[in-house]
C-alpha cells in the first residue's frame, strides 16, 4: 500500500521520506496528489528526477487525470502546471557567464526566480492583480530557450504541479525551493531506460547521434549524479514500473 499523504503546511520541516513500493500504481499517485489539497489554500507538488527520468511525462499524465476528475465543486482548471525549465537562463546570458556548454547544470538556472514564483503561488492571493492570474515562463525545446509569461496559473488552481531536476538540491541558491513544496516525488526510472530515452530526446530536438551521446556523458550524467544524491530527501519514490508504463511522449 502507498503511504498516506500528509497534511500540507506552508513550510515543510519534518524529515523527508522516500519509500519504494513496487506495488504502487498510477492511480495511487493520482489519489495522493488529490489528497494534498485542503480548503482555503493552494498546494504545490514537486516532481524531481535525473534528466530523462520521466518527470514531464508523469506531470502531464497526472494533470490529465486530475483535470478529468475534479473534486466536488471545482472545475477542470483546479490544477495548474509550472515546469522549472522555464527558469533556464537564456543562451545570451549563458554566453556572458561562460556557461553555454554547461547548459542544464544547477548554475544555469535562475533558482531564486523560480523560488519567488513558488512563493507567489503559495501566498493567499497568489501575489497577482485583480484577475488573480500568475504568469510563469515556459521552455521551448525546439528553440532551446525560455519564453516569458507563457503559462497562466489561474486563481481557480488549488493544486500546482511543478517538475525539475534540482528541487531537492542543498547547494547554491536551490535550498530556497524545498520549503515551498508540500511534497516532492522522485522519479526512479531504471538507468538503462532513462539513458536510452535521454539520447533519443536530444536527437529528436536536433543533435546528431554522436553529439547527443557526448552531451549525455559530459553534461547530463554529471548532473544526474547530483540529482541522484538528493533521492533520500524526497517524500515518495515513484517506481520505474509506473514510469515505464507511462511511456515517453515525443515532447518529454
Three-state SS at 129: coil
Q: Which residue has the higher pLDDT, 7 or 141?
A: 141
pLDDT computed for residue 212 by the predictor: 87
Which range among 1-5, 139-143, 192-196 shows the weakest confidence by mean pLDDT? 1-5
Q: Which residue has the higher pLDDT, 205 or 164?
A: 164
pLDDT computed for residue 140 by the predictor: 85
Residue range 26-246, CATH number: 3.40.50.300
**3: confidence class by pLDDT, cuts 50, 70, 90:** very low
**pLDDT (mean) for 175-196:** 95
pLDDT computed for residue 55 by the predictor: 94
| Prediction pTM value | 0.85
Grid cell locating 138: 515556459
pLDDT computed for residue 127 by the predictor: 46
Q: Are 158 and 78 in contact (CB under 8 A)?
A: yes
**pLDDT (mean) for 87-104:** 92
* Residue whose C-alpha is closest to residue 106's, from 165, 54, 65, 64: 165
Q: Are 187 and 51 in contact (CB under 8 A)?
A: no
Q: Are 55 and 238 in contact (CB under 8 A)?
A: no
pLDDT computed for residue 19 by the predictor: 45
**pLDDT (mean) for 196-213:** 87
pLDDT computed for residue 128 by the predictor: 46
Grid cell locating 157: 488552481
pLDDT(126) > 70? no
pLDDT computed for residue 141 by the predictor: 74
The Cα 230–Cα 177 span in angstroms is 13
The Cα 200–Cα 202 span in angstroms is 6
What lies within 8 Å, CB to CB, of 242 at 6+ separation is 24, 25, 26, 29, 58
* Residue whose C-alpha is closest to residue 89's, from 102, 80, 79: 102
**pLDDT (mean) for 144-156:** 90
Q: Which residue has the higher pLDDT, 226 or 6?
A: 226
Between β-strands 134-140 and 145-153, what pairing exists: parallel, antiparallel or unpaired? antiparallel
Three-state SS at 236: strand
Domain layout of the chain by residue ranges: 26-246
Amino acid at each position: 500500500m502507498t503511504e498516506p499523504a500528509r497534511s500540507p503546511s506552508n513550510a515543510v520541516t519534518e524529515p523527508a521520506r522516500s519509500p519504494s513500493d513496487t506495488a504502487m500504481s498510477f492511480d495511487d499517485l493520482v489519489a495522493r496528489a488529490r489528497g494534498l489539497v485542503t480548503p482555503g489554500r493552494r498546494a504545490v507538488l514537486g516532481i524531481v528526477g535525473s534528466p530523462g527520468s520521466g518527470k514531464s511525462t508523469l506531470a502531464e499524465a497526472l494533470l490529465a487525470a486530475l483535470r478529468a476528475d475534479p473534486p466536488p465543486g471545482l472545475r477542470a482548471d483546479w490544477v495548474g502546471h509550472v515546469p522549472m525549465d522555464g527558469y533556464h537562463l537564456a543562451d545570451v546570458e549563458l554566453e556572458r557567464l561562460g556557461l553555454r556548454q554547461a547548459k542544464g547544470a544547477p548554475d544555469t538556472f535562475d533558482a531564486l526566480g523560480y523560488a519567488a514564483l513558488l512563493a507567489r503561488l503559495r501566498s493567499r492571493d497568489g501575489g497577482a492583480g485583480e484577475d488573480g492570474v500568475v504568469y510563469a515562463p515556459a521552455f521551448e525545446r525546439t528553440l532551446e530557450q525560455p519564453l516569458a509569461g507563457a503559462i497562466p496559473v489561474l486563481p481557480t488552481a488549488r493544486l500546482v504541479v511543478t517538475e525539475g531536476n534540482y528541487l531537492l538540491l542543498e547547494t547554491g541558491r536551490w535550498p530556497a525551493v524545498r520549503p515551498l513544496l508540500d511534497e516532492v516525488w522522485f522519479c526512479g526510472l531504471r538507468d538503462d531506460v532513462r539513458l536510452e530515452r535521454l539520447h533519443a530526446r536530444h536527437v529528436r530536438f536536433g543533435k546528431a547521434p554522436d553529439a547527443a551521446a557526448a552531451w549525455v556523458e559530459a553534461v547530463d550524467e554529471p548532473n544526474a549524479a547530483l540529482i541522484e544524491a538528493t533521492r533520500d530527501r524526497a517524500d515518495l519514490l515513484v517506481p520505474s514500473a509506473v514510469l515505464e508504463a507511462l511511456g515517453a511522449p515525443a515532447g518529454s
